[in-house]
Amino acid sequence: MASGRDYSSRTTVQKLGARANQRVEVAGDVGTGLRRGLKDAIGRGLVRSGALDGAVVLVESLDQGQEALERYRPRLRDTGYLWVVTRKRGHEAYVNQMQLVPLAKRLGLIDNKTCSIDDERSAIRFVVPRALRGANESRTAA
């Protein structure tokens, strides 16, 4: 059943859930506006190493999707998020986001939201399930 909520007034950055002081990494062509908006929302520069509160990553093949999941999962804090951005249907580099779900599940991540980024890109969010949070705390305490 639809929730009846209207999110049309929210910006893409708000829909992605970026908040002040988060450690966020962006990789790939997610669009200059989105990259800039994320930096404004977190109030700091983007990071390239260490533990992450969030990551926004463009992938243009299933192999790249698997590589991104494997690369970012160990750095993701238990309450963090990984937005995997893909091209929309009709683009030569289109990736069916649902094919990423079983790959993520094997790494202890679940999908819980999708978001249209712009006319060319959309994203799917992966998070650590609540039941697994705390199991990786020592690994991501940096």
pLDDT digits (tens, 9 = 90+) for 36-62: 999 999 999 999 999 999 999 999 999
Higher pLDDT, 140 or 16: 16
pLDDT digits (tens, 9 = 90+) for 110-130: 999 999 999 999 999 999 998
pTM strictly above 0.75: yes
Neighbour-count burial for 77-115, b at 16+ CB within 10 Å, e otherwise: bbebbbbbbbbeeeeeeebebeebeebbeebebebeeeb
What are the boundaries of each domain within the chain? Answer: 18-132
* CATH architecture observed for domain 18-132: 3-Layer(aba) Sandwich (3.40)
Element (DSSP H or E) covering residue 77: strand 76-87
- Residue 126, amino acid: F
